[in-house]
């Protein structure tokens, strides 16, 4: 197997999924398993389903196509707002989409009718995080307009928090979503079976039994894959935190000073670097760099310190290791952004263990 590689442990992902879907089921909540951070790695999709997720969700059509190509069962949920220019692909690859724009839903309706299908949509409400969604006071009129579009089934309401604005889910803001769903069911006479109360930032409320009763759906990626909720990134009790591991190869090792010699200009990325003086120490260079992952996204497994990185090189202080030689490997646990970047890099092998 070529180095560097991202090692993925599907058994650990499945066990994490079982913990979260078990707690959700007990609260009457179904879970869509989110594959986007792995670019929809099929083995990950499979264990999300085996671990109790009701269906798979991804933000990109290419990723949904990958899941389909691997034969993973539908339905699929599209997480990113659909692009009008790709309405036909959207109704082909997704069974349900999160939406906020009536004009886009008209395009989806047209495409669905042309394909002889009905496309489901979940109307997103912006409860203050300021990413996608209609403002709450426009929910009723927007829902009414969408529900009337032929080829479209308004399937529910949803919200997304703690993404752009870092707004935490609370009984108040999720209670507002639940109340809006009740109001819509009454006024429009629709079933609206799904009330989707967010992503991994809602896990704390789930485990504390604080989710409003009408919330019956969550969309979970990081909580299952990396074992952490995303308000304070605390571990989910009992979950594995190391289902993903980066392994990279040492290509130089030796003793050097920690402060560069000479007049300091800009580094490769236009920053003026500042250096901590660690004295003469043993440093290793690994064959992986910012083109693959930000050094800030990595936590070393071995007792080493990350010093920095350029496009193709990761610099590590290995003074505390008793032995390290060229050709050895070091391992790192990537955070969410790290898994995303490493999954996307064509220079990093993906290795399922
Ligand atoms: C990415 C995404 C999720 C999943 O988020 P996690 O924090 O990984 O659980 C849920 N909903 C939407 C709309 C998303 O884009």
Q: What is the pLDDT along the chain (353 residues), one digit of tens a residue?
A: 699 999 999 999 999 999 999 999 999 999 999 999 999 999 999 999 999 999 999 999 999 999 999 999 999 999 999 999 999 999 999 999 999 999 999 999 999 999 999 999 999 999 999 999 999 999 999 999 999 999 999 999 999 999 888 999 999 999 999 999 999 999 999 999 999 999 999 999 999 999 999 999 999 999 999 999 999 999 999 999 999 999 999 999 999 998 999 998 898 888 888 888 989 999 999 999 999 999 999 999 999 999 999 999 999 999 999 899 999 999 999 999 999 999 999 999 999 99
* Residue corresponding to tokens 């002889």: 116
Ligand 1 atom at minimal distance to the Cα of residue 200? 9
**C-beta contacts of 54-63 below 8 A and 24+ residues apart:** 54/30, 56/32, 57/32, 57/33, 57/219, 58/34, 60/36, 61/86, 61/89, 61/90, 61/93, 61/94, 63/35, 63/36, 63/39
Q: What are the distances in angstroms from CA 271 to CA 4, 298, 337? A: 27, 21, 22
Q: If we measure between CA atoms, which residue out of 279, 182, 176, 221 comes closest to residue 20? A: 221
12 as an active site residue: the answer is no
Query: Which residue of the set 36, 117, 256, 350 is catalytic?
Result: 36
Q: Whose CA is nearest to atom 14 of ligand 1?
A: 79
Q: Of ligand 1's atoms, which has the minimum distance to the CA of residue 230? A: 7
Task: Output the CA 199–ligand 1 centroid distance in Å.
Answer: 5
The ligand 1 atom at the shortest distance from the C-alpha of residue 163 is 7
Question: Distance (Å, rounded) from C-alpha 59 to C-alpha 48?
Answer: 16
Distance from residue 213's CA to the centre of ligand 1 (Å): 21
> Which neighbouring-strand residues pair with 254?
283
Return the pLDDT at 1. 64
- Rounded to the nearest angstrom, the gap between the alpha carbon of residue 16 and the centroid of all alpha carbons in its chain is 15
Q: What is the pLDDT of residue 126?
A: 97
Alpha helix ranges (H) inside 166-325: 171-188, 203-207, 222-225
Contact predicate 152/190, CB 8 Å: no
CB 219 within 8 A of CB 198: yes
Write down the residue that tokens 């040492």 correspond to. Answer: 250
Nearest residue by C-alpha to atom 7 in ligand 1: 200
Handedness of CA 205, 206, 210, 211 (dihedral sign): positive
């Amino acid at each position: 197997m070529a180095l560097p590689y991202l090692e993925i442990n599907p058994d650990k992902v499945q066990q994490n999924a079982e913990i979260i879907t078990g707690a959700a089921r007990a609260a009457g909540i179904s879970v869509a398993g989110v594959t986007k951070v792995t670019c929809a790695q099929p083995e990950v999709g499979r264990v999300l389903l085996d671990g109790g997720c009701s269906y798979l969700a991804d933000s990109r059509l290419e990723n949904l196509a990958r899941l389909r190509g691997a034969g993973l069962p539908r339905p699929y949920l599209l997480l990113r707002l659909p692009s009008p220019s790709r309405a036909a692909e959207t109704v082909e690859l997704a069974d349900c989409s999160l939406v906020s724009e009536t004009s886009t839903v008209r395009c989806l309706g047209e495409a669905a009718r042309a394909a002889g299908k009905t496309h489901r949509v979940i109307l997103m409400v912006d409860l203050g995080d300021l990413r996608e969604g209609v403002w709450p006071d426009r929910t009723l009129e927007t829902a009414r307009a969408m529900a009337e579009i032929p080829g479209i089934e308004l399937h529910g309401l949803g919200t997304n928090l703690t993404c752009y604005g870092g707004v935490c889910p609370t009984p108040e803001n999720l209670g507002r979503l639940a109340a809006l769903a009740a109001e819509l069911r009454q006024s429009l006479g629709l079933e609206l079976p799904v009330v989707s109360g967010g992503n991994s930032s809602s896990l704390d409320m789930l485990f504390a039994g604080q989710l409003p009763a009408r919330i019956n759906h969550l969309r979970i990626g990081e909580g299952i894959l990396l074992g952490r909720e995303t308000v304070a990134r605390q571990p989910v009790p009992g979950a594995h935190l190391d289902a993903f591991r980066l392994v990279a190869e040492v290509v130089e090792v030796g003793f050097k000073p920690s402060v560069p010699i000479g007049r300091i200009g800009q580094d490769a990325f236009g920053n003026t670097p500042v250096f901590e003086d660690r004295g003469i120490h043993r440093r290793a260079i690994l064959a992986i760099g910012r083109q693959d992952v930000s050094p800030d996204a990595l936590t070393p497994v071995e007792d080493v310190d990350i010093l920095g990185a350029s496009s193709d090189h990761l610099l590590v202080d290995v003074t505390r290791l008793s032995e390290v030689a060229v050709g050895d490997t070091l391992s790192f646990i990537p955070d969410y952004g790290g898994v995303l970047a490493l999954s996307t890099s064509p220079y990093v092998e993906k290795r399922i263990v």
